[in-house]
Structure formats: C-alpha cells, structure tokens
C-alpha cells in the first residue's frame, strides 16, 4: 500500500483542467470567495481511501471468522469516515478567502500573492496552494473571526507576465481522512520583473540621455536646492545667500537644480548583451531613476513609455519590461 | 505540507501501541519473535526520547532481513494466520523505525487499524476489548496529530469524542444489519492447546498443567439432567501399548452423519463454547445438534464444521448412552487389543472375568478392586516409563489422575473381553446461581471409560471411587483436593477463592463474562433473527433494513446539525448582558439615549428620562461601577442583585402604565 506519486502525462493534465473549467464555470473567478455548499467539494483523501480499504478488510475478516468484535470495528470505521466527511465539510463552510494584492518580484524571486482569510466559525488546517507548486504552500492551523493574512509564493521564477490559475483552498481536517477543497481565481495578472543587472559603468548610462550629451548632469533650475557655490561677480548681488554670509563671512550663492528639464530616456537598443541582459540593465536603470526621482521614458522593441516619474510610472515600466518578447504564458 | 509537526509524540505513541499489541500475542507467537518485536519498539522509544537519528536504510534493511529469518525459522509456514499476523506486526514495526515522511506514518497508522482488529482473532475477553479500544482511540489521536500541531491530550479528546459519537451507530449496524455468511473459508489461527488431546497417554506426565481458562458454559432449560456431568468430547478406541488413540476406523465412522431418530427421552440444553483451535465440541451422552455450524456424528459426539474465531453457541439434545446398541462387528472392534504387554494387568483381568458371571458383575468387581487396593488420586503423579506402564501403575505406584485410571480400566475390560473405550472430555463444572448455568474450565478436563454391558454403554469412572468428591461440582469446589489443586493452578482469582470477597468478585466477573460471551460474542444469525422477531414481529422483519437506512440517514443529519450548531459566542464580561437588557428596555419604551456614550453616561441619561426607574437604574450604575471599574469580585449576590434590579425596572414601567 505504498503511496505512489506517479507523474501524470501532460494530456491528462490538459483533460483535467478542461473538465475543471467546464464544471466550475465561473463560480470561482472572484477576488473573494466565501465557501458555501455550491463551492465546496468533498471526497475522501488518499488516506481516507486506504482507511476505507482497511475497514473493508476488517469487514471481510469479521464476516469470515464470524467475529462480532472485528465486525464492530469495521462498522465503526465506516461510520467514522462518513462523520469525517460531514466534519470536513462543516469545517470549511463559511471560510472567506480574499485576494488582497500581489508582491511582485524580480526574477529569480517568486512573486507572492497576499491573502486575507477569516471564518465565522473556527476553521482548521487550511492550505492554499497553487497548481504545480505543492511544495510551497501556505498552511494555516486555525482561522477564527479575526482576519489572518498569508502569503502564497507562485512558481514563477522567470521574467514574464502571468495570468493567475485557480488557487486551491484545501483542508484535510479531520484526521486527514477527507479532502475538502475549493478554488479561487482572482482576475489578476502577475508580473515577474527582469532580474536586476547593474550596468557596467556610469558613462554608458549617460550616453542614454537623448536630449543632452552632458548626460545625467543636473539642469540648473529653481526647483530644488542643490549646493552652495562661491559667488562670482557676474552673478549679481541679489543671489548672495546672506544667511550664510552672516555665519561664515563668505559670499555664497545657492545653486538650484530643475528636474523637469531632465528627460532621461532608457533605450533597449542602446543596451548590450542578449535580450534578458538588456532588460536586466534597463530594470536597474529604471529603479535607480525612481530612487533619485528622475523623469524618464522607456523605449522597448514593441512598446515605448512616455516620460514620467513616481511609483505608478515605475510599475508601468517594470511591467512593460516583464512583458517584452513573450506575451502570455 | 510534508513535514510532521509532532514527530516525537507520534513515534512514541505508535511504539507504545505496538508494544501493547505485541503483549497480546505473547501466548500465540514464539518467544524469540516476541522479544525481537519488543526490542525494536523499545529501540524506537529510546531513539525518540534521546532525540537520536533513526537508523539509515542500509542498517534497517539488514536488520529486516535478520528479523525475517528469525520470524520464518521460529514460526514456520504451517500456521498461515499466525504467520500473517507476525508479518503484519514485523512490517509495521520496521516501517515505524524508518518512517520519516507523513506518508510513511499514514501508512503505518492505517495498517495499525488492521493489526488491532487481528488481536480479536485470538482473544475476545472484555479486558482485551477494553485495551484494544483504548489503543484504537490512541491510534486515531495519532492520525489527528499528523494533521495538526495539537497536543496529544487534545487530539485524544477529539478522537474519543468522534468514536463515542460513532459508537451507537456502529452498534445499530451490528445488531440490525443482516449477518452475511462467510464469503470463503479462512484458516484459523492455531492457538496454544491446553486441556484435552487426541491421545490419552498419562504416564510420562509429572504434573498436570492446569489452567483456569474457560472452555464452555452450559445452560439447561430444565433440571432434568442430574449430576455427574460427563461432557464427552473425544473417544479413544485404540490402545498401542502406551497410549489410547482414536483409530482411523473410528475417525471414518465419525464422518457419518447421525441417524436422527427422535424417539426416547431427550434432554435439551445449550452450550456456549469458547473459540478453540480443535474442532471438538461438548455434549452429554449421545448428543446431537441442529445448529448449522455443528456436525453430529454416529458416536454421539459434536464437531465444528469450520474454524470460527468467535464463541459458538449451539443447542444440544441428548439421549442416554445406553440407547445405542452395538452390532457384533462393532462389539468385536471395541474388544480388540493388538498388544501383549502389561501381563500383570492382563492376568488381573482374567481373574476378575473368571470370578464374575457377566460384564456388569465385572464392572462392579473392578470398581471394588480400585476402592480396596489403596489407590489414590493425585495431580502430581510419578512419571512411569517402559513397556508396562499400566502394570507399574496398577501394582506399584497406585497414584494417578483420571488418565491413569481410564487407561488401565479400559485395558482390563478389553483384556477380559468386554467392549470398552476411553473417553475424554470434562467432568462437572461450576454452577453459577445467578444465571443458572455451568462453567467448565480447562482444569475440569477428565478421562473415563465407557463399557458395553448387557444394559448398553455404561460409564466406568474409577476416580468415582478413588476420589468421590471429584464427581460432583468442579475441581475448584472439591475440598479434599483443593490445596493440591491450588498449588497446581496458575495464579488467578480461582486460587484465591478462599477469601469471600475475592470469591464474590470472581463470580461477579464470571457473570459479566457470561453475559459478554452470550450477548456480544455469541450474537449470531439465529440470535439476531430471534431478537428482530421479538422486536418487530415476524411480519415486519423485512422492514428492518429500511429502518436501518432511515436510522443512519437521521443520525448523520443529526450529527451534521450538531456540528453546525451555533457555537457559544465568547463569554461576555460580567454585567454586559444586564446592561444590554436595560438598553433594550429603554428602546422598547422609546427612551432615547446617546449612541456614543460610556455605559454610565448612557444609564444616567436613561434614568433622567425615566424618573420612575431612577432609583433602580442608579443602583445598577453603582453595581456596574463596582464590578467593572472598581474591580470588585462579581459574586453570586451581586449577580442576583443585578437580576433583581432588571426585574424591578421592567415591572415599574408596567405598574406606571
């Protein structure tokens, strides 16, 4: 009675997923699901099947030896497996699983999904798992009315854009005899950004500026204080910082820089190496630009992104980088 | 998902279960094998306690090969059931020694459910059942531990709860589901044999190994049968010079079914026989039975049809021995002596024959001979060897137990030309007053002679004259042999029966065991039919399966509702409930109060709007402050006070209306 783990051929997987999608319709395509009678599926687990087989063996032994005690044990086991099915169903009922957000990642780190789980009643031994990724799942011992947050890593380690597959919400409570499960499939796309590759030298990055050969040098302006410089006669006295004069008896001028005028463009074609390396470099540059709050635009083989800055812009650029080449998995 | 949270506890509990299991097989499996299993369990417990690594695959597999050799060499292939159980135990214990993943443990636990049931093949006493049930609960708890990180205590509680709830349903199933006949015949386990044996050869036995193991119980429908009870089990008709055996001729004769002539006065009684390896059953005189599992044969003996590991209950009808007449061939057969040793005894036989006119007179003369020549009864005879053991006994030792007397007497009768045979079985039994049944134990085993005289077969029992008290009642009740008997018997309650309290306890336990055997173990198809007929009458018996299905569905629904019942919400702090009662009272009487105020402010607001209840509400305010803010204990008096105040508040309003 070894518990064999056979590798199923892919076509069986294909058939299974087709059947699943037709059967499940769109019941599970939600960002939040509360398990009820029409979204919970209950069957004996592998252990439960073995348990039933042992109960049957006991039954046969009891019948053949006309032994009431063995027979009684067999009946007891049958009743318990049915109780376990009921218990397992009641355990999962009322569980609410909500998709909160994704933690996107740079390859080869897996992205993670953040979930919020709560239950009206106590709900025990819940496992969230992603198809084909049974090793890394998210196990919760017990859920009560308080919301619990958990993170589920996805098996996506390569750069790309991925549509979420149905995520299995499963429980083997009680005794591991039954398998109670349901699915949730949030309508969401997950991006794995290119892995960051530090550009070899700063000069190369300065070549990328399209407008100005002086590269990433700051444009003088009046938006942001940059530094203090010595006063030169042609500057005029109105620019002297008198506060500093009062302190240091030196004539100093406040230098301001203007970011609006810095329009950096990162171009795929100016990078070196193969596609992945170029994307990695771009990824690094984009992140650097975000950190020093520079306006930048991105030019990719099939897409270009306008000038912009800020977190949303960064995300847009990174997602575009993830999406280069391959479209969907 | 595959890591195990409580591996130590699981390891420990499973080793404990297997130690318990092994202890039940001490009698039935060879000692080296038992020791080996215990050592393996002990080793596992040691590794667990000391946080040591489990042995690696090479070591474990090597050990497994050694263990397999020990098992096969000590058990052999003869007894398939014992071999099967041994293999099951061995594989589980070894798997446990190597188990690392969750799947391994699941496999072991599932197999343990089967191993536990296998114990019932060998023993079905109440004690066994209690222990095995406890181990079942523990096994379930371990199964639960695999899935969660609870403590063993909590897990045991949960498993006990579910088993407790499932118990009544399983009982209903056992009682009402139709008893199926055996699908196919399985070999029975060959249990250690005590008591009777196929041949009567008493002379090399120095000490009769007595055990107080139960053999059967008999319940008489009326009191028509008188003592002494000679329960016949085996007939030995062939003497080979040393031992009395059952000849192959007789074995063939016993295959013939008996002619069921139902004339003459028959006696009815029923017997509950404990499971035993041997196929013989017990009856008085010429017994026959209509039970489907019992074969009655032409010698008046009863035999089991097939092995059953359960108590067999059958009813017997008995005719006196003397009714059976022998033809001349049969008479000659029972006179045959093929050996010519024991000349002294032979000559004694000739003397007695010459001095008596017929077989009946010879019968009496031989009895007299035994009573007058200072023979004595003992359970510890001197072993005798050589070709003339009968002569040694008759003329030198003169001390022996039933086997000696029966062997010698049968030989003398045959030498004198009188048809005779040795019969072994049980004599007497202990009468239990409460339920009016007789208990026969292994120490009641007996052998005697049946002699064919003019009046037909007669029982010749020399023990009757040597130790007359042996005839009535059980050996345990016979005073003269009591001391010798008690020295002989293994430690047990019987050996302490001199103390009144212990004797009372023994008889009560005995009674309980009788009910257990009769109702639980002996609940078979016939009993089931009787029960169903008495409950529902014969006409509606067909409704029973339907009823079982309905009961099952109802029970499962009830269970479902039970587990989904609204759980008690977390316990409210004191006085909160009462506070809400006042608020709802205020709502009812359309008294407005601010939404976001402290309880005290709200109460004050209410009391201002309802001046007629001001006093009570203020009192409640005080109470609330004392209990909730001043940390005064919420005693029973305060609780009652709060209740009274609420009542008062409600009644005041009514009076004002």
Does some domain include residue A12?
A: no
Question: Scanning the structure block, which residue is given the tokens 């017929």?
Answer: B358
Let me know whether A237 and A253 are in one domain. Answer: yes
Does some domain include residue A316?
A: yes
- For B:79-118, CB contacts with A below 8 A are 103, 106-107, 110-111, 113-114, 116-118
Let me know whether A166 and A68 are in one domain. Answer: yes
Distance from the Cα of B166 to chain A's closest Cα (Å) equals 6
> Chain B within 8 Å of A83 (Cβ-Cβ)?
yes
Distance from the Cα of B452 to chain A's closest Cα (Å) equals 40
CB atoms within 10 A of CB B120: 26
Does some domain include residue A3?
A: no
pLDDT at B486: 52
Chosen for mutation from A85, A137, A152, A175 (greatest number of chain B CBs closer than 10 Å) is: A175
Does some domain include residue A6?
A: no
Contact B170 A134 (CB under 8 A): no
Q: Is B316 exposed, middle or buried (0-12, 13-18, 19+ CB in 10 A)?
A: buried
pLDDT at B117: 92
Let me know whether A238 and A136 are in one domain. Answer: no
> Chain B within 8 Å of A323 (Cβ-Cβ)?
no
Q: For B230-256, how does the pLDDT look when each residue is reduced to its tens digit (9 = 90+)?
A: 888 888 888 887 788 888 777 777 766
Does some domain include residue A7?
A: no
Does some domain include residue A13?
A: no
Q: Which of A228, A257, A286 is the last residue of a domain?
A: A257
Q: For B407-466, how does the pLDDT look when each residue is reduced to its tens digit (9 = 90+)?
A: 889 989 988 888 898 888 888 777 777 667 888 887 778 888 998 888 888 888 888 777
Question: Whole-model pTM above 0.95?
Answer: no
Q: Which pLDDT band, with edges at 50, 70 and 90, does B21 fall under? A: very high
Average predicted confidence (pLDDT) for chain B: 80
Distance from the Cα of A266 to chain B's closest Cα (Å) equals 45
**DSSP character string of B278-335:** S-B--EESEEE---TTEEEBTTS-EEESS--SS-EEEEEEEE-GGGPPP-HHHHHHTT
- A138 contact residues in B (CB cutoff 8 A): none
Let me know whether A128 and A209 are in one domain. Answer: no
Let me know whether A108 and A242 are in one domain. Answer: no
Q: For B306-350, how does the pLDDT look when each residue is reduced to its tens digit (9 = 90+)?
A: 766 667 888 888 888 777 777 888 888 888 887 778 888 888 888
Let me know whether A239 and A272 are in one domain. Answer: no
- For B:400-419, CB contacts with A below 8 A are none
Let me know whether A127 and A204 are in one domain. Answer: no
Let me know whether A141 and A212 are in one domain. Answer: no
Nearest residue of chain B to residue A92 (CA atoms): B564
Beta bridge partners of B451: B420, B458
Q: Which pLDDT band, with edges at 50, 70 and 90, does A80 fall under? A: very high
Q: For B143-166, how does the pLDDT look when each residue is reduced to its tens digit (9 = 90+)?
A: 888 887 778 888 888 889 889 989
Residues A167-184 have a mean pLDDT of 88
Please state the domain count of chain A: 3
* Distances from the Cα of A56 to the Cα of A51, A52, A61, B175, angstroms: 9, 6, 8, 18
If you count residue pairs, one on A and one on B, with CB atoms under 8 Å apart, how many are there? 148
> Chain A within 8 Å of B173 (Cβ-Cβ)?
yes
Let me know whether A227 and A278 are in one domain. Answer: no
pLDDT at B474: 54
Q: What percentage of chain A carries pLDDT values higher than 70?
A: 83
Buried/exposed code over A37-69 (b: 16+ C-beta within 10 A; e: otherwise): eebbbbebbebbebbbebbebbbbbbbbbbbbb
Q: Which of A257, A285, A308 is the last residue of a domain?
A: A257
Does some domain include residue A270?
A: yes
Query: Which domain covers residue A224, as residue numbers?
Result: 220-257
Let me know whether A84 and A163 are in one domain. Answer: yes
Question: Does B263 score more than 60 pLDDT?
Answer: no
CATH classification at residue A155: 2.60.40.3770
- For A:147-176, CB contacts with B below 8 A are 172-176
Let me know whether A288 and A307 are in one domain. Answer: yes
Range with the poorest average pLDDT among A110-124, B178-192, B375-389? B178-192
pLDDT at B482: 57
Let me know whether A140 and A176 are in one domain. Answer: yes
């Amino acid at each position: 009675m070894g518990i064999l783990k056979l590798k199923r051929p892919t076509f069986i997987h294909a058939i299974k997923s087709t059947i699943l999608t037709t059967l499940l319709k769109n019941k599970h395509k939600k960002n939040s699901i509360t398990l009820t009678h029409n979204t919970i599926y209950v069957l004996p687990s592998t252990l439960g099947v073995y348990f039933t087989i042992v109960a049957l063996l006991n039954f046969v032994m009891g019948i053949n030896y006309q032994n009431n005690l063995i027979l009684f044990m067999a009946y007891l086991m049958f009743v318990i497996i049915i109780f376990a099915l009921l218990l397992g169903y009641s355990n999962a009922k009322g569980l609410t699983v909500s998709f909160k957000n994704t933690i996107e990642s740079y390859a080869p780190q897996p992205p993670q999904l953040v979930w919020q789980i709560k239950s009206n009643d106590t709900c025990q031994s819940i496992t969230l798992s992603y198809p084909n990724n049974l090793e890394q799942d998210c196990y919760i011992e017990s859920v009560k009315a308080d919301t619990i947050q958990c993170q589920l890593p996805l098996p996506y380690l390569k750069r790309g854009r991925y549509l979420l597959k149905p995520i299995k919400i499963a429980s083997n409570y009680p005794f591991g005899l039954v398998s109670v499960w349901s699915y949730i499939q949030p309508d969401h796309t997950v991006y794995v950004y290119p892995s960051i590759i530090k550009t070899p030298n700063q000069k190369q990055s300065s070549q990328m500026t399209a407008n100005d050969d002086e590269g990433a040098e700051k444009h003088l302006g009046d938006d942001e204080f940059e530094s203090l410089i010595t006063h030169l006669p042609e500057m005029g006295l109105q620019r002297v910082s008198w506060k500093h004069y009062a302190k240091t008896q030196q004539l100093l001028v406040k230098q301001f820089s203007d970011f609006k005028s810095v329009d950096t463009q990162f171009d795929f074609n100016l990078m070196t190496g193969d596609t992945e390396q170029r994307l990695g470099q771009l990824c690094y540059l984009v992140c650097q630009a975000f950190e020093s709050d520079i306006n930048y635009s991105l030019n990719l083989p099939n897409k270009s992104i306008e000038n912009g800055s800020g977190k949303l812009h960064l995300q847009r650029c990174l997602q575009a980088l993830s999406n280069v080449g391959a479209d969907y998995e | 998902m595959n890591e195990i949270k409580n591996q130590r506890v699981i390891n420990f509990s499973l080793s404990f279960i297997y130690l318990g299991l092994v202890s039940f097989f001490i009698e039935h499996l060879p000692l080296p094998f038992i020791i080996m299993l215990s050592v393996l369990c002990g080793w596992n417990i040691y590794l667990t306690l000391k946080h040591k690594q489990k042995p690696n695959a090479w070591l474990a597999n090597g050990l497994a090969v050694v263990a397999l050799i020990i098992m096969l060499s000590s058990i052999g292939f003869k007894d398939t059931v014992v071999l099967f159980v041994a293999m099951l135990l061995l594989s589980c214990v070894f798997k446990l020694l190597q188990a690392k993943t969750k799947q391994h443990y699941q496999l072991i636990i599932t197999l343990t459910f089967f191993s536990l049931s296998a114990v019932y093949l060998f023993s079905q006493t109440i004690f066994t059942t209690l222990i095995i049930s406890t181990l079942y609960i523990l096994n379930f708890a371990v199964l639960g531990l695999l899935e969660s990180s609870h403590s063993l205590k909590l897990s045991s509680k949960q498993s006990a709860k579910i088993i407790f709830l499932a118990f009544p349903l399983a009982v209903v199933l056992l009682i009402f589901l139709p008893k199926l006949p055996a699908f196919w015949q399985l070999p029975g386990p060959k249990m250690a044999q005590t008591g009777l044996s196929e041949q009567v050869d008493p002379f090399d036995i120095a000490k009769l190994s007595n055990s107080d193991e139960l053999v059967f119980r008999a319940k008489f429908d009326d009191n028509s049968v008188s003592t002494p009870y000679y329960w016949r089990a085996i007939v030995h008709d062939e003497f080979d010079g040393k031992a009395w055996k059952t000849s192959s001729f007789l074995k063939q004769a016993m295959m013939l079914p008996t002619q069921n002539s139902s004339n003459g006065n028959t006696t009815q009684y029923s017997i509950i026989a404990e499971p035993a390896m041997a196929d013989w059953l017990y009856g008085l005189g010429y017994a026959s039975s209509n039970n489907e599992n019992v074969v009655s044969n032409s010698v008046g003996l009863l035999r089991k049809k097939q092995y059953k590991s359960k108590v067999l209950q059958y009813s017997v009808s008995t005719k006196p021995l003397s009714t059976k007449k022998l033809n001349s061939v049969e008479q000659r057969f029972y006179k045959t002596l093929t050996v010519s040793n024991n000349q002294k005894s032979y000559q004694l036989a000739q003397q007695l024959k010459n001095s008596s006119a017929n077989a009946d007179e010879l019968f009496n003369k031989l009895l007299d001979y035994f009573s007058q020549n200072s023979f004595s009864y003992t359970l510890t005879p001197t072993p005798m060897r050589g070709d003339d053991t009968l002569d040694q006994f008759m003329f030198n030792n003169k001390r022996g137990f039933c086997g000696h007397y029966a062997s010698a007497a049968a030989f003398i009768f045959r030498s004198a030309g009188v048809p005779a045979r040795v019969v072994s079985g049980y004599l007497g039994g202990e009468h239990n007053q409460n339920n009016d049944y007789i208990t026969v134990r292994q120490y009641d085993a007996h052998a005697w002679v049946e002699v064919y005289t003019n009046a037909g077969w007669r029982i010749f029992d020399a023990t009757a004259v040597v130790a007359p008290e042996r005839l009535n009642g059980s050996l345990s009740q016979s005073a003269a042999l009591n001391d010798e008997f008690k020295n002989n018997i293994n430690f047990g309650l019987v050996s302490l029966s001199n103390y009144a309290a212990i004797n009372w306890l023994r008889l009560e336990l005995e009674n309980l065991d009788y009910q257990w055997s009769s109702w639980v173990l002996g609940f078979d198809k016939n009993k089931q039919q009787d029960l169903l007929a008495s409950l529902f009458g014969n006409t509606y018996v067909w409704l029973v399966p339907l009823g079982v299905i309905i009961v099952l569905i109802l029970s499962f629904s009830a269970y479902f509702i039970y587990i989904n019942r609204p759980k008690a919400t977390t316990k409210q702090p004191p006085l909160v409930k009462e506070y809400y009662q006042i608020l709802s009272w205020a709502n009812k009487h359309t008294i407005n109060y601010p939404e976001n105020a402290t309880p005290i402010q709200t109460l004050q607001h209410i009391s201002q709007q309802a001046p007629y209840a001001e006093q009570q509400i203020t009192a409640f305010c005080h109470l609330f402050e004392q209990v909730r803010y001043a940390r005064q204990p919420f005693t029973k008096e305060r609780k009652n006070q709060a209740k009274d105040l609420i009542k008062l508040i409600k009644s005041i309003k009514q009076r004002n209306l």
